[in-house]
Structure 1
Amino acid sequence: MLKNSHPNFDKMDELSQKKVPFFFMVDFLVENVLVFTENELIKNSLYIDFQNNTDIPDQQENQTNIQLKSFPESEEIYKKGFDKVQQNLKLGNSYLTNYTCKTEIEINLTLTEIFHRSKAKYKVLYHDQFVCFSPETFVEIIDNEIFTHPMKGTIDASTKNAAEVLKNDIKEKAEHYTVVDLLRNDLSMVADEVKVNEFQRIDFIQTNNKDLYAMSSEISGKLKAEFQNKTGSIMKKLLPAGSILGAPKPKTLNVILEAENHRRGFYTGVCGWFDGKNLDSCVMIRFIEKENGKLYFKSGGGITHLSNFADEYQEMKNKIYVPIH
């Protein structure tokens, strides 16, 4: 498993103990850990818009109709990786693997325009390199109580009785149970009295393409004394995020590295804002990255032994959207 020994985790501990506000970003493989105090954000062409914090100037609303075209990898290419995952599931190396792809897209908006116009709980724009508009909280810390909200399982909202179908789908349910169990165990490393407060809540997500329902749960605990005011130490313990990795973590990471044909980078990493007292952070999903002048949308989903190839391929494509409406 990853060593998670980056010196910037110590810097995060130091800043949180001094109650200095800061923003951090950690990539999926925990190789790149960036930390910015408030006055360093704009200097580094980094803009954030979180539910409780924003550093972005008001923009003139642009009414351009959005045109998004995607060019997903072929079924044959997707199936190669999917089959590797299934092989490992059968061998018992994993019982849930989050498998992701990189899809070239064309859109008539810049990354900056996407950032300003999209509606999401968490938004990040970095250096005209990537934009992220994530609906998924990683952990929140409020008065030394830690909360996490795993989001696993989505369905097209136009499906008949969509919310009920999602809640009762055997595969989606198994995936959700697994992630809740995994994150309950993860939180127990840094907190006591860990409990599930809300199970299988259904959230509505509106997109430019189609509307989705997503399934979430809430887990909480009281931070152990040695982790209080130590954001970096907490992240070292909890990363990579279980909801976008799978279980068990160490072996599943090897499966992902073998099956996926792209480097995730900051996609499915974690970023967060510490306001001097409390922390809010998100999993960096719903992600568009610029590479050699082209744009790529990274998306995927959880695979279990119950997964159906056609459904998973479709889910990966369903998640290619921008939340502008």
Structure 2
Amino acid sequence: MSKELIKEKLNKFGSEKEPFLFVLSYDLSKFYIEKLSKLPNSIKFQLNQKEDFNKVFTKSKLEKFPISFEEYKKKFDRLQEEIKAGNTYLSNLTVKTKIKTSLSLDEIYENTKGKYKIRFQNQEDNFTCFSPETFIKIKDNKIFTYPMKGTIDADISNAKEQILANKKEMAEHTMVVDLLRNDLGIIASNVRVEDFRYIDTINAGDKRLLQVSSKISANLQENWIKNIGDIITSILPAGSITGTPKKKTVEILKEIENYDRDFYTGIFGVFDGKELDSCVMIRFIQEDINGNKYYKSGGGITCDSDVLNEYQELIDKIYLPF
């Protein structure tokens, strides 16, 4: 039911060329869609903001309390069993980690850098996100998506060469690109991979990470603004944070992860009346009613994955990008 309501509202605002914000949870059970002119003060966002080198940021120590390696390994091993059985080939396994910081969610939003940032608070949900990953962009009847898969510490010797030459990382990224190509093929034509496996440098607080991405494009019909809801809901959840085959992998992850992703790995974006820009909500901090803060993170698992490396990656992805 939520999916149909989301589709209907997005299509309506698009048809009216009404600028609006949309925030959709991972499983589409929750959503927030509102005209930009009516946004409350409790909801703020930034998209593709240029870095302000003159701004002084307030920094804070971030304490992490991740699940034990043994507990993570149980989840990892169960996923490997599913892979061996042929039920999934790539799965993005995520976990929920309790954190402590002296900064409030408002201060985290104001003092962190991010390609996409949102501060969201209503009666039910309270979170902030500073995501480096674009979901889709639509401009001049063309749709673009930028799957992000593959991370390495930038300080490792020859880090760029290492990650691009790594067979496991290559296989994982290729599977996600194929999945996203197929997703775009559902709602568009002339699907093309314009740039395969390029490197972005991500500020990860006390370290830098190299992130591998690709750029895929396709052509939409001229009346696409009347079908924004159909376009978005047809390709959710995002392939980079689920896996392949998508439907079965989502079922497997729900059982193994055993927690509610909620808005984490959902999407948020803006339609400005002419163009659309959106991101996948990774690098995500949620606060419960008792004031406890949780950071949700994870990474892609294939048959070639090393459990120690994957455990370390999910911890490395818990950071505040000052």
Question: Could you tell me which residue of structure 2 aligns to residue 267 of structure 1?
Answer: 264
Contact 2:49 2:116 in 1 (8 A): no
Q: Distance in 1 between matches of 2:32 and 2:231?
A: 16
Q: Distance in 1 between matches of 2:49 and 2:160?
A: 28
Contact 2:204 2:317 in 1 (8 A): no
SS at match of 2:226: coil
Contact 2:128 2:285 in 1 (8 A): yes
Report deviation, 1:52. Answer: 6.2
Q: Return the TM-score normalized by structure 2.
A: 0.94
Contact 2:135 2:267 in 1 (8 A): yes
SS at match of 1:219: strand
Aligned residues: 316
Q: Distance in 1 between matches of 2:207 and 2:149?
A: 18
Amino acid at match of 1:312: E
Change in 2 beyond 3 A, CA 1:63/1:323: closer
* 1:256-295 matches, cutoff 5 A: 256-291=253-288, 292-295=290-293
Q: Return the TM-score normalized by structure 1.
A: 0.93
SS at match of 2:303: coil
Q: Distance in 1 between matches of 2:4 and 2:31?
A: 7
Question: Could you tell me which residue of structure 2 aligns to residue 24 of structure 1?
Answer: 22
Verify: 1:91 aligned to 2:89, yes or no. no
Amino acid at match of 2:3: S
* 1:1-325 matches, cutoff 5 A: 5-42=3-40, 45-51=42-48, 63-127=57-121, 129-224=126-221, 227-291=224-288, 292-324=290-322
Q: Distance in 2 between matches of 1:9 and 1:52?
A: 28
Contact 1:242 1:249 in 2 (8 A): yes
Change in 2 beyond 3 A, CA 1:152/1:234: same
Q: Distance in 2 between matches of 1:88 and 1:223?
A: 36
Report deviation, 1:143. Answer: 1.2
Contact 2:11 2:225 in 1 (8 A): no
Report deviation, 1:262. Answer: 1.6
- Once the two structures are superposed, what CA deviation does each residue of 1:244-287 show, in whole Å capped at 9, x if it has no partner? 00000110011101110321000000111000010000000000
Report deviation, 1:227. Answer: 4.0
Unaligned stretches of 5+ residues in structure 2: none
Report deviation, 1:39. Answer: 2.4
Unaligned stretches of 5+ residues in structure 1: none
